[in-house]
Amino acid sequence: MARVFITGSSDGLGRMAAQLLIEQGHRAVLHARTDQRARDATAAVPGAETVLIGDLAIIAQTRKLADDANALGPFDAVIHNAAVGYQEQRRLTEDGLPHVFAINTLAPYILTALVRRPKRLVYLSSGLHQSGDPSLNDLKWEKRKWNGQQAYSDTKFHDTLLAFAIARHWHDVYSNVVDPGWVATRMGGPNAPDDLDAGFLTQVWLATSDDPEAKVTGEYFFHKELLAPHRATRDVERQERLLEACQQFSGVNLPAS
């Protein structure tokens, strides 16, 4: 039996992953942005251990979420599922960061650094990461004209970089990336063509399975199959530049291996 913490699990793929974990006999700890969404999650996933609350757009709340998660004891896996989509308008958080960057890029970094190290980490990316800006310039979008799809693509590139950086730094952790496909969630829309079940099955499989194919690190998966990510995500210098930028934005250091 595994104990798994899933961010952004009040609806969508995160909630579906939690439901499957519980069906398989595992323990799931959920996460929601607000009290109301936490109540919704509790109703939708009645077998969940508990729901933690925190707005990932706000650094202080993300740090508190990590503290709350640690107070529950260790996890076998953490699934970094929470994200906002490609239709985001330009808006800044109270920390002065683009909302999409704060949630999709910085929050997974902070939680990775502060939550007690699990055995497995699963990060959600997207096929749109292939269009992400590999330069890592202007992460705060202060010089570029805002483009919601590009901003989203950039953050999914970042998530892939982060997963591979963690795999390289922490040799005792399986750290992998999932592309769930374009699926019919609230973010993806009702006409999305990919297999919805395969999107969350791969998350759960990587978080819990003893299959040799799942017990790997630094890989990118689509529907349980290995897929080649943007080759720039394998660049160690870029990985380190992202870690340094996230540390500077958040004031949170990544623990050593």
- Nearest 5°: CA angle at 230, between 224 and 236? 105
E strands along the chain, which residues?
Answer: 3-6, 27-32, 50-53, 77-80, 120-124, 174-178, 220-222, 225-226
Residue 187 belongs to a domain with what CATH number?
Answer: 3.40.50.720
What is the DSSP-derived secondary structure letter of residue 98?
Answer: B
Domain hosting 77: range is 3-250
Q: What is the pLDDT of residue 257?
A: 79
For residue 188, pLDDT over 80 is answered with no
Q: What is the pLDDT of residue 88?
A: 80
Give how far the C-alpha of residue 209 lies from the chain's centroid of Cα atoms, to the nearest Å.
19
Residue 256 lies in a domain: no
**Pairwise pLDDT comparison (32 vs 189), residue with the higher score:** 32
Residue 179 lies in a domain: yes
For residue 103, pLDDT over 60 is answered with yes
Q: Which of 86, 109, 123, 156 is catalytic?
A: 156
Question: pLDDT band for position 89 (50/70/90)?
Answer: confident
pTM across the whole model = 0.94
Residue 255 lies in a domain: no
Domain count, the chain: 1
Residue 257 lies in a domain: no
Three-state SS at 209: coil
Q: What is the pLDDT of residue 183?
A: 46
Tokens of 123: 């990060």
Question: pLDDT band for position 56 (50/70/90)?
Answer: very high
* Mean pLDDT along residues 119-128: 97
Residue 192 lies in a domain: yes
For residue 174, pLDDT over 50 is answered with yes
Three-state SS at 80: strand
Active site residue 156: yes
Residue 28 lies in a domain: yes
- Distance in angstroms (rounded) separating the CA atoms of residues 17 and 48: 11
Sequence-separated (6 or more) residues with CB below 8 Å from residue 91: 98, 99
- Distance in angstroms (rounded) separating the CA atoms of residues 50 and 30: 6
* Mean pLDDT along residues 51-74: 98
Question: pLDDT band for position 101 (50/70/90)?
Answer: very high
Residue 94 lies in a domain: yes
Residue 124 lies in a domain: yes
Q: What is the pLDDT of residue 194?
A: 53
Burial class (CB in 10 A: 0-12, 13-18, 19+), 59: buried
Q: Which of 86, 109, 152, 174 is catalytic?
A: 152
